Amino acid sequence: MDFTEHDSLAEFRKAATAWADEHVDPAWVDLEHTTGTHHNPELHALLGAQGLLGAGWPAQYGGTDVDPAYALAVFQEIGARGLRMDGWVTTEMVARTILHVATEEAKQEIVPAALRGEVVIVLGYTEPGSGSDVAAAKMRAVRDGDEWVVNGSKMFTSTAHMATHVFLLTRTNTEVSKHKGLTLLLARLDDPGVEVQPVHTLGGQRTNATFYSDVRVPDTLRIGDVDGGWGVMRVALVHERGTATAPGGPTLVEQVAAWARSAPGADGAPLLDDPTVAEQLARLAIDEEVGRLLGLKVRWVASTGGMPGIEGSMQKLHSSEAEQRRVDVLTDLLGEQALLAGDAGPLHGAVEWALRKAPVSTIYGGSSEVMREIVAERRLGLPRSRPIG
> Residue 7: what pLDDT?
67
Check if the beta carbon of residue 164 is closer than 8 Å to that of residue 188: yes
Instruction: Report the DSSP beta bridge partners of residue 143.
Output: 148
Question: What amino acid is encoded at 219 in this protein?
Answer: D
Check if the beta carbon of residue 225 is closer than 8 Å to that of residue 237: no
Q: Where residue 367 falls among pLDDT bands split at 50, 70, 90?
A: confident
> Domains in the chain, start-ordered, CATH in brackets?
10-117 (1.10.540.10), 122-229 (2.40.110.10), 250-378 (1.20.140.10)
Q: Helix 86-101 vs helix 41-49: angle between axes, to the nearest 10 degrees?
A: 50
- Compute the distance between CA of residue 278 and CA of residue 251 in angstroms, rounded to an integer: 16
Q: Where residue 364 falls among pLDDT bands split at 50, 70, 90?
A: confident
- What confidence tens digit (pLDDT) does each residue in 238-274 have? 766 555 555 566 888 999 999 999 988 888 899 999 9
- What confidence tens digit (pLDDT) does each residue in 23-54 have? 999 999 989 988 999 999 999 999 999 999 99
Instruction: Report the DSSP beta bridge partners of residue 339.
Output: none
Would you name the residues annotated as active-site residues? 240
Check if the beta carbon of residue 261 is closer than 8 Å to that of residue 272: yes
Check if the beta carbon of residue 354 is closer than 8 Å to that of residue 339: no
- What confidence tens digit (pLDDT) does each residue in 139-166 have? 999 999 999 999 999 999 999 999 999 9
What's the whole-model pTM score?
A: 0.84
- What confidence tens digit (pLDDT) does each residue in 41-94 have? 999 999 999 999 999 999 999 999 999 999 999 999 999 888 999 999 999 999
Q: Where residue 353 falls among pLDDT bands split at 50, 70, 90?
A: confident
> Residue 300: what pLDDT?
80
> Residue 312: what pLDDT?
84
Of residues 301 and 79, more confidently modeled? 79
> Residue 292: what pLDDT?
85
- What confidence tens digit (pLDDT) does each residue in 332-349 have? 988 888 898 888 888 888
- What confidence tens digit (pLDDT) does each residue in 268-295 have? 899 999 999 999 999 999 999 998 888 8
